[in-house]
Structure 1
Amino acid sequence: MLQRKHNALPIAEIHPVLRQLTTALLHLEALEIIHADIKPENIMVVNRLQHPLQVKLIDFGLARHVSEAVPGTAVQSLWYRAPEVLLGMDFSEQIDMWSLGAVIAEIAAGFGLFPADHEYDALKLIVDLVGQPPDVLLNCGQKSSFYFNIEGSYNQQIWTLKTPWKFALQTGHHFRGNQCFHLRSLDDLVEVIPYRHMAKREELLNFVDLLKKMLVPDKCGRIIPLAVLEHPFFAVEQDPEVSQSIETVIAQPLSCQQSLTPQPSLTKSFQSIENVIFDSRDSETSVTLQLSKNVQSVAFKAVTLPEQIVSAQPETVYFKLEDEAAHMEPGVIKVTSGERKSRVRRFLKSIRNALFSCVRCDSN
């Protein structure tokens, strides 16, 4: 985010990041472990050049078992601290969901929702943006009466956050709002978060709806990791491997692990063969491919060969292609009729002839 000058990530790139982090919380929940310090600095990008981004949750220095969570313990960074922690209430793994919601909102909007230097400032921003916790929960907090006023009778108590001037009069701390944008509610993010096409507005609305459920002040009403993965926000998401087109699979060949070094002349010739493959997409000999989970490793083998194989054994290229196509999974390539099978064979033969012609030209 620093290198991007805090420019927001597109919603399409947030999909895989949120899915991976939620899956991490799902595993921690099964182990009854609280991370207790989720923030952007503790989310490691495995490879920033990889698309979609692969991230990992790191730094378990403050992690603890749910049974070891003591009210009033200093956990979580202030910007991403849950209301129950701010108020000294009992807490559990729900605080990680709050922090994750604050982090995802920050990378989507480009600025933090609760930029505070004091606990009162953080509570003020939370109350103004998402509302205050229920009175029954506030009454259980160790710090509730310090930050809130109690009004009404004993049976009908009403808790309200102390106004900045009253809190400054009692404590000497003056509220400072450091927000880049003054948001009246999370719904305003629909207009703040940049998006490119109006067709994605529904996706943006689903994203804001998910944020609302992640940033619920009442820990008992906060969404759980499994429900996050089942939210409509992920219903429109396509698997990153399945969504790749045939052109992308061909244009980005796999790196061969062999130690053979291809000849430069044959490398140039192989690029011309790739052009033949691209040109054949619009012809009648095109093959209908059904992408699967291993499309990048299987489909590429069927259409293009690593350069090392071409340079090492050019006379066996055609047989290698036929052998790869014969041992593919049944669901990878669909041939609709016998005529289509013959077209596939003619297509493979055209590749063989192109390979032999390139080898002969290189030898001459």
Structure 2
Amino acid sequence: MQRIFTRRKLLLIATLFINVVQKAQCDISVSTNDLTIQLEHTDSFNLILRNVTNYAPFTIKFDIQHKDIIRVEPDSYNVTKDEDVNIIVHAIGAGHSEVVANATNSSITVRKAFVRVTVQKHPELDTFSLVIGWIYFVAWSISFYPQIYVNFQRKSVVGLNFDFLALNIIGFTLYAVFNLGLYFIPEIKAEYSNRYPRGLNPVQVNDIVFAVHAAAATIITIVQCYLYERSDQRVSHVARIIIGVFGLFLFIGIILAASDVIHWLDFLYYCSYVKLTITLIKYVPQAYMNYKRQSTVGWSIGNIFLDFTGGILSMLQMIIISYNYDDWVSIFGDPTKFGLGLFSVVFDIFFIVQHYVLYRHTNYEEQ
């Protein structure tokens, strides 16, 4: 009985000790992790110091990622007590930079003490960029409906390439899986935070809405292929082989993720890679089909104009952002997104030329 009482007493003492230590832990943070400043202006944030008495005195020094973009005052601070210290940030160049606090006492954790600073040339351009973003979001979102209407009006899908549809539904489904997983699943969000502790989740609500809506609209178009006249059209053997390769790649990814060889976040990245590849190749079957038929009848030109509008505005937004933040590396250093947009626009122009120049006198249904 005495031994049990002693164990309980020790457990109580240990618990009290842990609580005291936790309460006494030095806590250093900042009032905001994100700051946007206009070029040649200033703003500030607070360095928040709590429970520092047992560790003081020590010095906090601020490391700046790009010293040609911002400078801070003071660039270091001697800590002696709990307080909020106002730190002034001067914007001296456009772009993105980080301010990271480091303590001279190595036992102090300052993981939360960082600020991402964005310096923009003109706030009006930021607003204009946001408006453009919503316009191309709407243009891309409604670009599926002209084709659905054309199919309904003709009661036929002859002229609409089935390879294009098959690749499209796989691409948008994988895009939706990527966005939904990274936005809603706690384990994947936690892994992203661990991998990129100072990064923001790249998925926004409008990304989810667009991906899910695009997949749903493509499914409606596929259902029309079963309801309306389709002649002898079917998914080609080449497309089936490509889809099979994609399926095998993703199946292996699932096995590796389920076996903890890779993280589920990596599997989502694999899904995004397949989506990017599909975006590069999905227009080829339709363009070739139009060439073989010498006609664009059955292929909605309204869809192309909306896709063209979205692509042009998407690239315009990237150019505006790059200029406003002096961040041309986002285009030329990592050209994937810009290149895909440009690739889609080039194909849209090719489809417009096919429709209005090359085959404008050809009516496939009358032949």
Do they fold alike, i.e. is TM over 0.5?
A: no
Higher RCO by CA contacts (8 Å cutoff, separation 6 or greater):
2
**TM-score, length of structure 1 as denominator length:** 0.20
**TM-score, length of structure 2 as denominator length:** 0.20
The structure whose residues are more often helix, as a share, is: 2
